[in-house]
Amino acid sequence: MISTNDFRTGVTIVFDGNLWTVVDFQHVKPGKGSAFVRTRLKNVLRGNVLEKTFRAGEMLERAIIETRDMQYLYGSGDEFHFMDQANYEQIAITHDVLGENTDLLKEGMGITVQFHDGRVIGGALPNHIELRVEETDPGFRGDTATNVMKPAKLETGATIQVPLFINPGDKIRIDTRDRKYIARIQ
Residue pLDDT, tens place only, 69-117: 999 999 888 899 999 988 999 999 988 888 788 889 999 999 999 898 8
Domain boundary among 103, 124, 145: 124
- Rounded CA separation 132/135 (Å): 9
Q: Is the pLDDT of residue 51 over 90?
A: yes
- pLDDT value of position 82: 94
Q: Are residues 50 and 76 in the same domain?
A: no
* Cα distances (angstroms) measured from residue 149 to each of 134, 139, 153, 164, 168: 16, 10, 13, 6, 15
- pLDDT value of position 98: 82
Domain that residue 39 falls in? 2-62
Q: Are residues 138 and 165 in the same domain?
A: yes
* Cα distances (angstroms) measured from residue 165 to each of 72, 101, 160: 31, 25, 14
- pLDDT value of position 153: 95
What is the domain-level CATH number for residue 108? 2.40.50.140
Note the pLDDT tens digit of each residue in 111-161: 999 898 888 888 888 999 999 999 998 866 656 666 788 899 999 999 999
Average pLDDT over residues 161-170: 90
Domain boundary among 80, 109, 124: 124
Query: How much is the pTM?
Result: 0.75
How would residue 172 be classed by pLDDT, with cut points 50, 70 and 90?
very high
Note the pLDDT tens digit of each residue in 6-43: 898 888 899 998 899 899 999 999 988 899 999 999 98
Q: Are residues 58 and 75 in the same domain?
A: no
β pairing state of 171-175 and 59-62: unpaired
* Cα distances (angstroms) measured from residue 4 to each of 8, 47, 48, 63: 9, 22, 21, 14
Q: Are residues 76 and 25 in the same domain?
A: no
Average pLDDT over residues 40-54: 90
Q: Are residues 145 and 163 in the same domain?
A: yes
How many residues does this entry show for the chain? 186
Number of domains into which the chain is organized: 3
- One-letter identity of residue 124: A
Domain boundary among 87, 107, 124: 124
Residues 6+ apart with CB under 8 A from 23: 9, 39, 40, 41, 42, 49
Q: Is the pLDDT of residue 44 over 80?
A: yes
